[in-house]
Amino acid sequence: VAKGRGPGQVEVFDDAASHRSLDRLDLRSELRHALDRDQLALHYQPIFSLNTGRILAFEALLRWTHPHHGSVSPDVFIPLAEDTGAIVEIGRWVLDQACRQLAIWHRLPHWRTLAMAVNISPAQLRGTKVAEETLGVIRRTGLEPSDIWLEITEHSYLRHDVTEYATTLRAAGVRFALDDFGTAYSNLAYLKRLPIEILKIDRSFVSGVTGPELDLSIVRAIIAIADSLGLSCIAEGIETEEQRVAVQELGCRLGQGFLLSPPLPPEEATELLRTEYPLDAVRVPIR
């Protein structure tokens, strides 16, 4: 608790708060070496068709194993990486790594059409060549641009204009998802400006979908917006069978969450693909 805020007086913080801020300073500088020291890894969470139960894509989620603190949440270190600019190099590594993994999975029988969703921070998008660089990474790994979905959060979109980047990549076939939809000041004008194909309904609404009528109404409204604009919807953070049934009955066709599968290390994700064949090998539209 900060005390004595008058001029010349010293602020006293409680122990927990000062430890937290110390940690953040350390983490901030250590993050710069995390890549070189091999402390970063990607886990992959499957995205399912709720109607057929088949896996359509994986979302790549970054993991940082710190030598002393153990696993650090991306919700903590991604903002730090954005602040320091480390996100540029880290983001390049994430895209490269995720593309290589998808190229490997495409060589498995039946999984030629699997897609990969990659989260990107708009802080990665400064500079005039970023769209070409992104396409370069995708093509060097032997993938088609349409194999990749890039996820941008509404929060970050509020702070940076990513329209030009997104338009260039969309023209090449890359698909865009608006992540955590509904958690910022949802300005529907974005949906017109950005070449988005997918809305991800934030987990905070999905978790309330079987509770208060208001949450149910919000999810219904988001799905209605998506439908009328011709966009797909993904329900994020499905944790219970009741939630799965509820979002499906509201017309949401795609879902992700601990009920269906947590994010998996690459070996376990590969095992899942080996045991769960899709019904056929035809490229299905994401809707």
Residues engaged in binding Mg ion (CB under 5 A): 119, 151, 179-180, 236
- What CA–CA distance (Å, rounded) separates 285 from 252? 15
What separation in angstroms does the CA of 237 have from each of 2, 3, 90, 196, 213?
A: 36, 40, 25, 21, 19
Q: CB of residue 266 vs ligand C2E: minimum separation in angstroms?
A: 14
45 touches ligand C2E (CB under 6 A): yes
Q: CB of residue 32 vs ligand C2E: minimum separation in angstroms?
A: 16
- What CA–CA distance (Å, rounded) separates 86 from 216? 39
Q: Label residue 227 exposed, middle or buried (CB < 10 Å: 0-12, 13-18, 19+).
A: middle
Comparing CB distances to ligand C2E, the nearer of 74 and 195 is 74
Q: CB of residue 179 vs Mg ion: minimum separation in angstroms?
A: 4
246 touches ligand C2E (CB under 6 A): no
263 contact choice in ligand C2E, Mg ion, none (CB below 5 to 8 Å, kind-dependent): ligand C2E
Q: Which listed residue (39, 74, 76, 92) binds ligand C2E by CB under 6 A?
A: 74
Comparing CB distances to Mg ion, the nearer of 30 and 154 is 154
Give the number of residues written for the chain. Answer: 287
Q: CB of residue 15 vs Mg ion: minimum separation in angstroms?
A: 30
57 touches ligand C2E (CB under 6 A): no
255 contact choice in Mg ion, ligand C2E, none (CB below 5 to 8 Å, kind-dependent): none
75 touches ligand C2E (CB under 6 A): yes
Residue 163, SS3? helix
